[in-house]
Amino acid sequence: MIIVSGKVKVKPGGLAKIHSEMKAVIDATRKETGCIDYSFGADVTEPDTLIVLEYWESWEALKAHGAQPHMSAWMAKMGEIGVVSQSLRFIEAGEERKLMG
């Protein structure tokens, strides 16, 4: 499993401007082959910071994700609101254990 995790800081007020686009890219991505889960969230301690968390079946699935039309639209929208900084990690995970439930 491939995990993508990190943060993207945007210009002040940026996240509020892209709420509908976030939902659209999440919905489209979750339908992709190889996507286990894909989500964004707002960091409650860092204003205008997007938390990214993705789970993919393989590197190939993640690579195909980057070539999807909805990703081109998403990246263009991120460019419009202005990315200040980003820190994303790509992690290849092995064994998985549930903490609870």
pLDDT digits (tens, 9 = 90+) for 8-66: 999 999 998 998 999 999 999 999 999 999 999 999 999 999 999 999 999 999 999 99
- CA R_g for the chain: 14
Is CATH 3.40.50.300 the right assignment for the domain spanning 2-92?
no
Whole-structure pTM value: 0.89
Cβ–Cβ < 8 Å for 88, 5: yes
- Distance (Å, rounded) from C-alpha 1 to C-alpha 3? 7
